[in-house]
Structure 1
Amino acid sequence: MLQEISISNLGVITQATLPLGPGLTVVTGETGAGKTMVITAVALLLGRRADAGAVRSGAKHALAEAVVHLDPDHPVLEAASQAGAFIEPADGHSELLLTRSLSAQGRSKATIGGRSAPVGLLGELGADLVAVHGQSDQIRLKESGAQRDALDRFAGDGFSRTLSRYQRTYRQWREATRQLASLKQDSRDRMREAENLRLALDEIDSLDPQPGEDEQLREAATKLGNVESLRSAAAQARGVLDSEDFESPGITTLIETARGVLAQAGSDDPALQSFADRAAELGILASELSSDISGYLADLDEEGPERLAQIEVRRAELGKLLRKYAPSIDEVLSWAQSSRSRLDELGGDDTRIAELEEQSSTLGDEVASLAADLTKARTRAAKMLAKRVSEELTALAMPDARLVVEVNELDEPGAYGQDTIAMLLAPHAGAAPRPLGKGASGGELSRVMLAIEVVLAAVDPVPTFVFDEVDQGVGGKAAVAIGERLAMLARHVQVIVVTHLPQVAAYADRHIRVIKNSDAGAQSGKGFTASDVLALDEGERVRELARMLAGQEESDTAQAHAEELLADAQQLVDSLASTPVGK
């Protein structure tokens, strides 16, 4: 529970310390005195969104600090310890210090047990420490989600475990379904890709191109396209080599003549014999060259226009491949090789789709089964919650009111099951139940919310409840009834109430008053007020209740009425004395 809250420079409060403890603590004060800053401080300590406008005018920053006492095995302490917090052992409990600072520029810092921590961690811990209820929570109670949360809390730990299992399975099912849909969508694209690859490879395979074939055909086409000039050049060259004209003999004849002359004189000089040998070699080379040219001419005669036509047809076929796939045949063949590997990869989709279809079907069946379990549990809990809340409403001066909790099935499962929850209120006998958002006044919503919290506190309590003027819109007997139920709730948990009703304040175990001090602003010359926070003794409580009753705290009549309220409240408190107070 919250043992103490300290506030600095928050709103109109310059410096204040609120001593708290078990049971019911009420905070009262005139309008504008700064009562709401107590709730703002608690909200900051719970990690709620910080508003720089809450920093006191002229101050650089505001600070909220809380001392929390918890049982040594409380889960909050384990989470805080993991974050490096220092936890102070005390008499039968452990003490944890929470702080939140807020600069006038809007920057916010948090510490848990003396160690800096993310503000989000304060929110996580705060959810298990304090439940804050105010007018905004009444509005939230009109929403189906908030009503579902209330019912699920009432359904207990067994339901919570089933819900956790359902949500885990639901996430797995959604992920498997998403992957399956994505893969099927991709599969259509991949199937088109595979079909295109198969068509391309079939086209390439049908032509069976060979490495370098495009260059070879280009050279052959160039050759055959110039066959006459090639034949003329070859014939002239062969004539130069082999001419038998006496007046213009060919090279081979001249070389042979030179060799013979050198060989005849070679017997007289070895050098000439060497020249003769070399001339013989030249003759052989010239003869071979002449023979090769003759063969070339013979081939030209065989490769005529028909061969050129065949080559051009082949080049045209290969040209289609070059235009579609790559600029050369060698690159076309390389593309084909990589495409065959890609085609093999694309062939594995069918197996993965089959696996995901089976997984999605299995998880879907489990989701449906768990959703049905949640529906059954919610339906049972809804009847019991409606019955108990209706009983509480009777005690809250709504004797003919009846709460109805409907569990309706959705078309599709969602993150919380396949149900939608609707809380309806029949405020009077014979009245048809209507949704809380339509058929309930602010005062009725206040009592419905209080009734729900009283019922939930017995099955799923947090250590501390904070109510911010949830008694707004009620008075008379209803106000007394709210005070009684808050006192009963305070037997189980710590309750802190900001109230303007003396009928509620009379039931307090501890009464704190926020007092506006206008003189502080005048003396400072800065034109703003300040507030003091005081813990009241019995005499001061009487005067404060008298002020709340009649606006005249010194009036004997008002004080007598206040004393009567306190006496009546004390009778109820005494009757509850045997009930252990929650910590």
Structure 2
Amino acid sequence: MIEYLSINGLGVIGDAAVELDPGFTVVTGETGAGKTMVVTALNLLLGARADAGAVRHGASRATVEAGFLLDAGHAAVGIASDAGAVLDEEAPDRGPGTDADAVPEPDGGAPAGGRGDVALVVTRSVGAAGSSGRSRASAGGRGVPVALLGELGEHLVAVHGQTDQLRLKSPAAQRHALDSFAGPELAETLTAYQRDFEAWRRAAAELEEITSNEQDRAREAENLQRSLEEIDDAAVREGEDEEVRALIQRLENVEELRAASLGAHTHLAGGDAADAVEIPSAEALIEAARQSLLQAPGQDDELTGLSQRLAEVGILLADASADLAGYAARLDDDAASDLDSAQSRLAELTRLMRLYGPELSDVIRWAETHRPRLEALQGDSGRIEELTAEVTRLEQRVLSGASELTRLRTAGAVTLSGLVSDELHALSMPDATFHATVTAGGQPGPHGADEVRLLLQPHAGAEPRPLGKGASGGELSRVMLALEVVLAATDPVPTFVFDEVDAGVGGEAAVQIGRRLARLARHVQVIVVTHLPQVAAFADRHLKVTKNSDGDAGFTTSDVATLEGEERVGELARMLAGRADSGSARDHARELLEASHA
């Protein structure tokens, strides 16, 4: 619901801010006072095209702001959050005299327009004609495209004006309204149908892909088979290329490595007796040093410790000597053939990495990833048979579900048509008939195979025509009021705005309009611009737009004020008799208020 509305520099309104109740709010005032600017302001907030000519004379910009209170799960909250809007999860203070508990309750229901738990502020500004300022929009303090306001508006406010009926104008919206009205049985059937339809669509798409690309898939399978066999035959291991490079480097320097290892071994183990140069053994020297320490007299702890350390060094030298001897032995005379094998292996690994990944790990992962694809391609013939049977089975379920949707929608359409027609008769349209039609036979889609249309037959003998093409602006507003009253409990948006829904009626018909607006306000917030006191008397909150002209200053300003008590009686008297101070008119105004709230 809208918690407050602020208007600055729009038309005749210089600066006005009003708080709004959850229930029924009426806006009145003399002709030309600027009542329609309230609707214009709301339309701007809903993403309507900006008119620079609507900016107040002398102002550089017109700015409109509204605060919305919404349930955390409301669709508009998700849209605003995705756009980066800042949302206040603690609803702000609504101010005095705005207790939601005071709103009349529908039979067996909760108060209409209860407090939301998320606050969203939406603003729109329009630059004056000739200025460089452009239209700007924001949601939750974040600048957004104007188109986003339109997307938010579809979930926040429904405006029904003399020339603009924004709600239920699209076939999809009309179908959704009928489906909501038809009740839970249709909702369950639609959910099951959509599940079957999606499964049918996926299976049919897969079957089409397999059968229409059979040759391409066969070629793909052949190429995959060849590639996977190549990788499997190579039996690559992760990191093997680094091992092979190290082996190649060792084999390319085999003579130098052998000489270095044997030289080191000679220094540790001593020269062979046949060597021309006698080299003492490092192991023997260490052992001799240890024996010298052991022959020292007495028991010296420090020398004993050093002796033990020399023994450990001797063991390490013996191990190193043995390892060097083994290393030299492995560098045999077949090193040339081993080098050829290692270089060939490295070339094979490099080729695989060039084809399937920069690293051997990528080659292994490529094989793991594509092996299931090959299995799927090789099973095409069996999969085609399986999918053909699945598509046939699901198609029958989809057709059966679409037929059931048609049956439920048709039954709901008959009931909806009757209820809305009854409402129209009470709204001074005695010859009008409302028709909700369901035409089946189309191709099954996500919502069935039906075309839903909402039509109006203005009088007997006339052809039913789409809403908006067979009625005047005032009549169309009444049609939408009748429809919204019937749909209120099943397909509401938080706020409804009616601009002069009572045009062309009076007397008892006006009373019936007021009564139905009050009934609608049990479920949603209702804002109405009206000239009729019979309608205004039913409101929970009465706003008056007053025009103030200053001839000397050369401008006109309109103010918006909340009326209570005798001020409201005076406004109703003015609407009844043209004079707020008429005693009989004031008495009549009090009667209207008493009767409407009885």
Match of 2:121 in 1: 98
Partner deviation per Cα, 1:476-525 (whole Å, 9 max, x = no partner): 332221112112222332210012223212222221122233328x62x6
User: Is it true that 1:535 corresponds to 2:559 in the alignment?
Assistant: no
The verdict on how the C-alpha distance between 1:85 and 1:425 changes in structure 2, with shifts beyond 3 A counting, is: closer
The verdict on how the C-alpha distance between 1:46 and 1:445 changes in structure 2, with shifts beyond 3 A counting, is: closer
Q: Take 2:443 and 2:179, find their aligned partners in 1: how far apart are those partners?
A: 19
Match of 1:87 in 2: 89
The equivalent position to 2:480 in structure 1, one of 440, 449, 473, is: 449
Q: Take 2:163 and 2:203, find their aligned partners in 1: how far apart are those partners?
A: 39
Q: Take 1:441 and 1:416, find their aligned partners in 2: how far apart are those partners?
A: 32
The equivalent position to 1:515 in structure 2, one of 535, 546, 551, is: 546
Paired residues for 1:453-468 under 5 Å: 453-468=484-499
The verdict on how the C-alpha distance between 1:41 and 1:392 changes in structure 2, with shifts beyond 3 A counting, is: same
Cα distance, 1:447 vs. partner? Answer: 2.4
Match of 2:42 in 1: 42
Instruction: Name whichever structure is richer in helix by fraction.
Output: 1
Q: Take 1:103 and 1:387, find their aligned partners in 2: how far apart are those partners?
A: 44
Q: Take 1:137 and 1:167, find their aligned partners in 2: how far apart are those partners?
A: 33
Q: Take 1:44 and 1:439, find their aligned partners in 2: how far apart are those partners?
A: 27
Q: Take 1:463 and 1:346, find their aligned partners in 2: how far apart are those partners?
A: 53
Cα distance, 1:32 vs. partner? Answer: 3.5
Cα distance, 1:358 vs. partner? Answer: 6.0
176-185 vs 148-157, greater mean Cα deviation:
176-185
**What is the identity, as a one-letter code, of the residue corresponding to 1:491?**
R
Checking the alignment, whether the CA contact within 8 Å between 1:471 and 1:499 is kept in structure 2 is yes
The verdict on how the C-alpha distance between 1:362 and 1:107 changes in structure 2, with shifts beyond 3 A counting, is: farther
Q: Take 1:367 and 1:136, find their aligned partners in 2: how far apart are those partners?
A: 41
The root-mean-square deviation of aligned C-alpha atoms, in Å, is: 4.1
Match of 1:230 in 2: none
User: Is it true that 1:487 corresponds to 2:545 in the alignment?
Assistant: no
The equivalent position to 1:389 in structure 2, one of 397, 420, 432, is: 420
Match of 1:553 in 2: 579
Q: Take 1:165 and 1:51, find their aligned partners in 2: how far apart are those partners?
A: 47
The verdict on how the C-alpha distance between 1:117 and 1:396 changes in structure 2, with shifts beyond 3 A counting, is: same
The equivalent position to 1:107 in structure 2, one of 135, 141, 145, is: 135
Checking the alignment, whether the CA contact within 8 Å between 2:580 and 2:586 is kept in structure 1 is no
The verdict on how the C-alpha distance between 1:84 and 1:90 changes in structure 2, with shifts beyond 3 A counting, is: closer
The equivalent position to 2:530 in structure 1, one of 485, 494, 499, is: 499
Match of 1:372 in 2: 403
The equivalent position to 1:154 in structure 2, one of 181, 184, 205, is: 181
Match of 2:160 in 1: 133
Paired residues for 1:246-257 under 5 Å: none
Match of 1:6 in 2: 6
Checking the alignment, whether the CA contact within 8 Å between 2:158 and 2:167 is kept in structure 1 is no
TM-score for both structures, normalised by structure 2: 0.58
Q: Take 2:394 and 2:59, find their aligned partners in 1: how far apart are those partners?
A: 57
Q: Take 2:193 and 2:163, find their aligned partners in 1: how far apart are those partners?
A: 30
382-391 vs 436-445, greater mean Cα deviation:
436-445
Checking the alignment, whether the CA contact within 8 Å between 1:81 and 1:87 is kept in structure 2 is no
SS of 2:22's partner is coil
Checking the alignment, whether the CA contact within 8 Å between 1:110 and 1:117 is kept in structure 2 is yes
Q: Take 1:410 and 1:565, find their aligned partners in 2: how far apart are those partners?
A: 56
Match of 1:321 in 2: none
Match of 1:302 in 2: none
The verdict on how the C-alpha distance between 1:102 and 1:181 changes in structure 2, with shifts beyond 3 A counting, is: farther
Q: Take 1:362 and 1:569, find their aligned partners in 2: how far apart are those partners?
A: 64
Partner deviation per Cα, 1:522-566 (whole Å, 9 max, x = no partner): 62x6xx64322122233333443344345x33462xx63464244
Cα distance, 1:366 vs. partner? Answer: 4.1
Cα distance, 1:348 vs. partner? Answer: 10
Q: Take 1:515 and 1:354, find their aligned partners in 2: how far apart are those partners?
A: 77
TM-score for both structures, normalised by structure 1: 0.60
Q: Take 1:516 and 1:568, find their aligned partners in 2: how far apart are those partners?
A: 26
SS of 2:597's partner is helix
The equivalent position to 1:434 in structure 2, one of 444, 464, 481, is: 464
Q: Where do 5+ consecutive residues of structure 2 fail to align?
A: 94-114, 128-132, 220-375
The verdict on how the C-alpha distance between 1:136 and 1:348 changes in structure 2, with shifts beyond 3 A counting, is: farther
**What is the identity, as a one-letter code, of the residue corresponding to 1:135?**
Q
Checking the alignment, whether the CA contact within 8 Å between 1:393 and 1:447 is kept in structure 2 is yes
**What is the identity, as a one-letter code, of the residue corresponding to 1:45?**
L
Q: Take 1:351 and 1:480, find their aligned partners in 2: how far apart are those partners?
A: 72
The verdict on how the C-alpha distance between 1:87 and 1:21 changes in structure 2, with shifts beyond 3 A counting, is: same
Q: Take 1:160 and 1:137, find their aligned partners in 2: how far apart are those partners?
A: 30
Q: Take 2:381 and 2:501, find their aligned partners in 1: how far apart are those partners?
A: 61
The verdict on how the C-alpha distance between 1:115 and 1:564 changes in structure 2, with shifts beyond 3 A counting, is: same
Aligned length: 415
Q: Take 2:22 and 2:377, find their aligned partners in 1: how far apart are those partners?
A: 68
Checking the alignment, whether the CA contact within 8 Å between 1:427 and 1:440 is kept in structure 2 is yes
Cα distance, 1:144 vs. partner? Answer: 5.1
SS of 1:545's partner is helix
Q: Take 1:179 and 1:14, find their aligned partners in 2: how far apart are those partners?
A: 63
Checking the alignment, whether the CA contact within 8 Å between 1:55 and 1:102 is kept in structure 2 is no
Checking the alignment, whether the CA contact within 8 Å between 1:507 and 1:566 is kept in structure 2 is no
Q: Take 1:562 and 1:431, find their aligned partners in 2: how far apart are those partners?
A: 45
Paired residues for 1:73-472 under 5 Å: 83-89=85-91, 94=117, 96-104=119-127, 105-112=133-140, 114-117=141-144, 119=146, 122-138=149-165, 146-156=173-183, 159-160=186-187, 162-163=189-190, 166=193, 170=197, 361=392, 364-398=395-429, 401-425=432-456, 434-437=464-467, 440-472=471-503
Cα distance, 1:156 vs. partner? Answer: 3.5
User: Is it true that 1:571 corresponds to 2:577 in the alignment?
Assistant: no
Q: Take 2:211 and 2:5, find their aligned partners in 1: how far apart are those partners?
A: 58
**What is the identity, as a one-letter code, of the residue corresponding to 2:125?**
L
